Amino acid sequence: MAGLLDGKVAIITGAGGGLGEAYAKLFAREGASVVVNDLGGSRDGSGNGTSAAAQKVVDEIIAEGGKAVANGDDVSTMAGGENILKTALDAFGQVDILVCNAGILRDKSFANTSEQDWDLVVKVHLKGTYCCVLPVWKWMKDNGKGGSMVLTSSTSGLYGNFGQTNYGAAKAGIYGMVRVLAIEGRKYNIRVMCLAPGAYTRMTADLPGRIGKDPDPLSLPENIAPGVLYMVSDLAADHSGKVLGVSSRGVREIKMLQTEGFQPGRPYTAQEVAENASKVFFADATERTAASA
């Protein structure tokens, strides 16, 4: 039986464990040759990196009969992003899929967030996405093959979450990248989607409410991966620019909406805006529904 990704080459960043590992293994089972990137650092981005985690995943894929190579470059540098692409081209001669998954956490309330906490989280998530997307984008564009990309945002950036100003800002920026790249990519057959995953991983296991509790089986990485496989496959060919939330609650689109609005058609006062608040704002019930989607 043919796989959904037969003959394709996929790059997955941060794939030495958790969600990225689950994506890599599923993509390989579906016929893709996979570049498993992982720097091997700790959750907060500290420590000396090593490609051992990436190589372990590669070894397991090969043992199952799949094709994969390891890469230990830092996604947050242009040299790293370019070398990740080079790894794919040297090993497999092309790239068809990019999943930007690498990330770190340095959660603190805003008043306690240091400049270093801010800079490093934004560098890994937002700049790291840029550094990996740009060389792959140029290669897809110049070689006329097109391709698909999934960039990882978060409900922390789309809805907000206490203690994650740095992370939320970076993840909201990635959403903005997706919206623009989807427009620019039409000309080159490059499709870009945005992922907001919810999963039980090393990154989230000790978050409030999860400590000491068994994870919901549907929140494990291997049960998030099928939604991402859908996103990178030709099954989602008509959905560039869209955001999918993929979690134990299923797969659902997340959209930015606007209200009817107050349209005076003439110079107006702040008081008139207040008097037309029912047109300017969504009702509270609608806001609650959106935030819980």
Q: Could you report the per-residue pLDDT of 210-230, keeping only the tens digit for each?
A: 445 566 678 799 999 999 999
pLDDT at 289 over 80: no
Give the tens place of pLDDT for each residue, 135-178: 999 999 999 989 999 999 999 999 999 999 999 999 999 999 99
Q: How would residue 285 be classed by pLDDT, with cut points 50, 70 and 90?
A: low
Residue 132 belongs to a domain with what CATH number?
A: 3.40.50.720
The residue from 23, 130, 167, 175 that is catalytic is 167
Please tell me whether residues 248 and 104 are part of one structural domain: yes
234 and 288 co-located in one domain: no
- 59 in a structural domain: yes
User: Residue 39 has what pLDDT?
Assistant: 92
Domain that holds residue 222: 9-256
Q: What is the pLDDT of residue 62?
A: 98
Claim to verify: residue 134 and residue 268 sit in the same structural domain: no
Cβ-based neighbours of 22, under 8 Å, separated by 6 or more? 221, 222, 224, 225
Q: Would residue 91 count as lying in a domain?
A: yes
Looking at residue 209, what is its pLDDT?
Answer: 53
Count of CB atoms situated within 10 Å of the CB of 262: 16
Kindly indicate the confidence band of residue 292, based on its pLDDT and cuts at 50, 70 and 90. very low
Instruction: Judge if 37 and 156 occupy the same domain.
Output: yes
291 and 235 co-located in one domain? no
pLDDT at 245 over 50: yes
| 112 and 195 share one domain | yes
Instruction: Tokens for 151, please give them.
Output: 């960039």
How many Å is the maximal CA-CA distance in the chain? 70
- Do 189 and 286 have their domain in common? no
Same domain? For 64 and 87 the reply is yes
Range 169-197 average pLDDT: 98
Give residue-wise pLDDT tens across range 37-51: 999 877 777 655 678
What total number of domains does the chain contain?
2
Find, among 240, 238, 232, the residue nearest to 32 by Cα. Answer: 232
What is the C-alpha to C-alpha distance for residues 39 and 56, in angstroms, rounded to an integer?
13
Q: Is the four-CA dihedral 77, 78, 80, 85 of positive or negative sign?
A: positive
Question: Looking at 84-88, 109-113, 248-252, which range is the least confident one?
Answer: 248-252
Instruction: Show Cβ contacts of residue 178 under 8 Å, excluding neighbours closer than 6 positions.
Output: 151, 153, 192, 193, 194, 241, 243
> Is residue 273 in a domain?
yes
Long-range contact pairs involving 82-88 (C-beta distance under 8 Å, separation at least 24): 82/135, 84/11, 84/13, 84/35, 84/37, 84/132, 84/135, 85/11, 85/135, 85/136, 85/139, 87/35, 87/37, 88/9, 88/11, 88/35
Residue 106's CB is within 10 A of a number of other CB atoms, namely 20
Residue 259 pLDDT > 90, yes or no? yes
Taking the whole predicted model, whether its pTM rises above 0.85 is answered as: yes
Residue 167 a catalytic site member: yes
208 and 96 within one domain: yes
- Sheet of 250-254: strand order equals 67-71, 33-37, 9-12, 97-100, 147-152, 190-197, 243-247, 250-254
